[in-house]
A = this chain, B = another copy of it.
Amino acid sequence: MSVNEVLLCYSKMIEQRLDEILQSNSDAPEVLNNAMRYSLLAGGKRLRPAIMLEFYKVLGGDPEDILNFACAVEMIHTYSLIHDDLPCMDDDDMRRGKPSCHIAFGEDIALLAGDSLLTLAFETASDVSDSIDPKNALKAINLLGKAAGMCKMAGGQVLDLQSEGKDISLDEINKIHDGKTVAMIKINAQIACVLFGADKVTYDAACDFCESIGLAFQIRDDILDVIGDEKTLGKPIGSDDSNEKNTYVSLLGLDKSVKIVNDLTNKAISNLDVFENSENLRELAQMLAGRNI
């Protein structure tokens, strides 16, 4: 299978479980369930949870056993997009080629759909397969909270808001990216390793891989905001420029940024030496470096 076929396979597993979970919550107000479904099943790449499932497989586990954790990460990613799009935040009307959640359902329902997805993420993660050591599951939930929380993802969003219209340094940009983007990519390696009970060398290598592809992913995002195709991306380009955001591209230029993405990708791949059968992860890193969507 090509890495795209592997991703599609994981994507199907994840979407089927996400669909089941929403269906099993049919007691909730219909409009809330619909708003959550609208954003959660809007055709994302499922990149984050796919990384978790692939790492677990590479370690020797059955991805099915940790599918709920993979769904939890996707729920948290989706909640963050819904809240980021709200008028009091980035005020974005379009997401993945469709009206944002608050345009489709109103601000109040979008707010609560985000809150409910965040809550459902932890509910889902705590519903653990019998094959997982409960102590490891608690540790994984703890790491998931840290990655999504005040010191990482939510904190990164605050730093990002505070930086708009200001000149900030590359160090400050890295801090924002580390919180907003890298943490929720790295968490997939962390969860896979913790749930499998991997040793420290393995855990560190998996984390380092994700840190490098996570930063590369974000810089590629900034590059696509300049050279991307709006139709392919499903959102307007040039928003960083009009929001006066400092990015790798605005500070270092396009060519240098492309080079950094490639360097980070190579660095990421060098961490895969400790794993057998890590071909898919290598191809994934390369694909992400050159993606147009």
Binding site for B on A (CB under 8 A): 25, 27-29, 31-33, 36, 79, 83, 86, 88-89, 106-109, 111-112, 114-116, 118-120, 122-124, 126-128, 134-135, 137-139, 141-142, 144-146, 148-151, 154-155, 157-159, 161-162
Contacts and interface: CB of A to CB of B under 8 A. Distances in A.
The 6 tightest CB contacts between A and B, nearest first, are A123-B145, A134-B134, A88-B107, A28-B150, A126-B141, A122-B122
Contacts of A126: 138-139, 141-142, 145
B88 A158 contact: no
B149 A123 contact: yes
Given A25-B149, A89-B108, 7 more contacts: A27-B155, A32-B155, A88-B108, A116-B154, A116-B155, A120-B145, A123-B149
Contacts of A118: 115, 118-119
Contact of A162 (B25, B29, B150): B29
8 contacts: A25-B150, A28-B150, A83-B112, A108-B161, A112-B154, A116-B154, A128-B138, A134-B135
Contact of A154 (B119, B135, B142, B144): B119
A131 B28 CA distance: 35
Nearest to A79: B115
Given A108-B161, A141-B126, A36 B120 contact: no
A139 to B, nearest CB: 8
B123 A142 contact: yes
A115 B88 CA distance: 14
A200 B116 CA distance: 29
Given A119-B149, A149-B116, A158-B112, A138 B134 contact: yes
A293 to B, nearest CB: 27
Contact of A145 (B108, B122, B158): B122
Contacts of A162: 29, 31
A162 B30 CA distance: 11
Contacts of A157: 112
Contacts of A114: 115
A267 B178 CA distance: 53
A141 B112 CA distance: 20
A149 B126 CA distance: 14
A266 to B, nearest CB: 30
B149 A29 contact: no
